Amino acid sequence: MRAVSKPWPGAFTDVFGKKVTIWKTRLSPHGGHDVFPGKVELTENNSVLVFAGDDHTIEILAARPEGGEDLDATGFRDWLVKSV
């Protein structure tokens, strides 16, 4: 993630038909064994986890939905919940 964070274009994905730029992540201690890569999980402590294909899990710490503003982890989780 460091190579594509600000001021560069950022890593991005499509969420509910909107482009979401991911600005900051970290490896999570949650395992991802036997979980479909790309699965997103919202945790009780306001985290957004994305399961990777290498049995690791990434926690999203900052993101920006298309047409929106930069959000911290809690704000991004709230945006996801409202967008479902």
Angle at 74 between CA 24 and CA 57, to 5 degrees: 50
**Calpha distance 23→45 (Å, rounded):** 20
CB 73 within 8 A of CB 60: yes
- Could you tell me the CATH number of the domain that includes residue 16? 3.10.25.10
Q: What is the reported pLDDT for 1?
A: 54
The parent domain of residue 15 ranges over: 2-83
Helices (H), 1-84: 73-83
> Given a cut of 80, is residue 79 above it in pLDDT?
yes
> Given a cut of 90, is residue 70 above it in pLDDT?
yes
Side chain identity, residue 46: N
- pTM of the shown model: 0.83
User: What is the per-residue pLDDT across 12-65, written as a single tens digit (0 to 9) for each?
Assistant: 888 889 999 999 999 888 776 778 888 888 888 888 999 887 788 899 999 999
Q: How many domains does the chain have?
A: 1
